[in-house]
Structure 1
Amino acid sequence: MFKKILIANRGEIALRVIRTCKEMGIKTVAVYSKADEESLHVRFADEAVCIGPAPSSESYLKMSNIIAAAEITNADAIHPGYGFLSENAKFSNLCEEHNIKFIGATGKMIDQMGDKANAKATMKAAGVPCVPGSEGVIEDFEECKKLAIETGYPVMLKASAGGGGKGMRAVWKPEDLKEAWDSARQESKAAFGNDDMYMEKLIEEPRHIEIQIVGDSFGKACHLSERDCSVQRRHQKLTEETPSPFMTDELRENMGNAAVKAAEFIKYEGAGTVEFLVDKHRNFYFMEMNTRIQVEHPITEEVVNYDLIREQILVAAGVPISGKNYYPQLHSIECRINAEDPHNNFRPAPGKVTTFHSPGGHGVRMDTHVYAGYMIPPNYDSMIAKLIVTAQTREEAINKMRRALDEFVIEGIKTTIPFHRQLMDHPDYISGNYTTKFMEDFEMKA
């Protein structure tokens, strides 16, 4: 087992990893930028190393600084959390070169699954259902035009190196294709330094449902059932729940088996998520694989009583998994609390938190690095907390979330708490009748 783990991340996920490490008797090293000097993950780690100024390009993305921090503190493993370098093949390989265990996928696995076009080809070979569309990167616009006719409108153009909705364009008719092709490539080039595009059939009334998997170094994988992440804004998830209100036992079994098949086909090691689009007829299609821990992992932990960070660490240390699949025994909902103004088009709202009162009670979990007096920097993602509730039924979980949100007090900045409170009263959310298009018609009340 590892003696000391460096957490190459910040905020709530860094604190989350530190907590599990402490429970396992493993020493921890926090890294931080100058903007994060007062963050809780810095306070609670056994050691802390400043790795640069506020911009992430000069700190949390600076591989040489993180490796140096691991070497001077004698850390024998690095946990990357999510975001930043968690799905960076070069960083995974760099850790290996320096005899530091990367608690995550190997560089080869990340390369296989990180590029969406490569991932789709790999999944087709594994026999996992994929959305109809291009076999790989589209050569030019002439090929794009031909493919759109073969696939059948509507189609979705996607950046091969994309994420977070960048370089994506829905095209409903042939006359709009050229403009979409040009603008998507331009946006992708600016965001990722790569303008490679691929095409998929646009799935109508889609649900975004993902399957949590864990694979070990012996080629064995298991799944921990699904999470419904369909409530999104600009392809960024706002709230998640498990089990999905759209799920049937048969669909859960089929999607779970497909996800395990995908993981075992590439001999996947670590925690990962196989993401699917599910249409209104409950046909499911592989979308992408995240080769890291997910923001929304706590809801899975709550419904199956399973510490996913602990399992990541055990797998990285060479411990085999049990191999059995896990199914939800309870219902859990997570609301992502962002420092944003939901009454002003979700504009980011960094600043000083003057009052912070966390909700509590049975079945309420709070993952956060924020406290009264904390200054939220403008340099990073706006998520400042995750509020997770768990109950016997979905109806009870929604009632519990309403109560917890009413108790949750953050003053000094704007947050998305009012949005989530209104969401919990929305008839379509209450009935479970929502898709990834839900936010297009949602209007905040004053």
Structure 2
Amino acid sequence: MAITDLRQQFPILQRMVKDRPLVYFDNAATSQKPQCVIDALSHYYSHYNANIHRGIHTLAEEATLAYEASRIAVKEFIGADSTEEIIFTRGTTEAINLVAYTWGRANVQQGDEILISGMEHHSNIVPWQILCEEKQAILKVIPVTEEGELSLEAFKELLSIKTKLVAVVHVSNSLGTINPVNELITAAHLVGARVLIDGAQSAVHLDIDVQKMDCDFFAFSGHKVYGPTGVGVLYGKRELLQDMPVFQGGGEMIKEVTFERTTYNDLPYKYEAGTPNIADTIVLKTALDFIQQAGKAEIREHEAMLLAYATTRLKAIPGLSIVGEAKAKASLVSFVVKGVHPQDIGVLLDNMGIAVRTGHHCTQPLMKRFGIPGTVRASFALYNQQEEIDVFIAGLQKTLKMLQ
């Protein structure tokens, strides 16, 4: 099926907003869901809703098999070596926090250094700040160039034998920049540092192979890959996960409990305490299958066309400046307009049925680096069309006439 035909599988795109056909350009925040994902969620609750792993009745066994089928699908989707390396979380944020609270507390000591980039989402800043404060370690930041790229020269200068972890975003949610993670990982490993890759924005766009990448940890969220909210993934190399302390205590993550001591479960269940988000985790497989069937190469080609077209149209608008013009970009464009607050643009576009994101996008340090309060961000997915960009540009021009 052609990429353009897949649009019909997303029922929400048929609705009206403010008496206008919805134009949804906030895909970097969350993607819309195809009917197959919606149906799979309903099917679970209608046919085999049960707790997993511990029940012996039919519903429990069916739910357990479906849950573990999702783990297999994730393993294949990101190229992991084993399902033992796939831990289900609530999202990218929890996955990063899991690493900070377990690996971080076990391995980072006073005077050690953690290296992040200047374009990180708050979820890949705050956990490391907390850890550094607790351990009296040092947080260092890779600077961002005017074009919105990482300074690789500065990165190599910041690396040292004191660097214990490099935590970087694969694709910037604010700029669209695709970072050269393979190069970063290789350099970090040469000084003995571990590497965590925030794949929240990359998993849906790029081909991910964690073994070829050789990252130590990789995290992404279900709701950005056409799946449900409330489910995410942490990949970790098996040897690291085995040595890390536990994250949360409770059912499922144990082998045996006495009042004197507890022995912990094998991977990956060691990190999955309590009843998980069963339904959404099961349906994550449906979303990943949908992407695979559509074809990532075809999706990228379509989204690249949208990005190029939108960028050309936006650059023709007087007073508008694009923030982030890296050579390698995913399908989003952020911009500011001289003399106009981004929020005002977002509100007026919404009145025309056009959904964009405005603000600092949970990257306040990055906004400070560019000396702006925030941007307007339009982010594209496989179901978006060139005609929608025309509607967006016309709406933006009308908006600016009203505001300027």
TM-score by length of 1: 0.26
TM-score by length of 2: 0.28
Bigger fraction of residues in helix:
2
Bigger fraction of residues in strand:
1
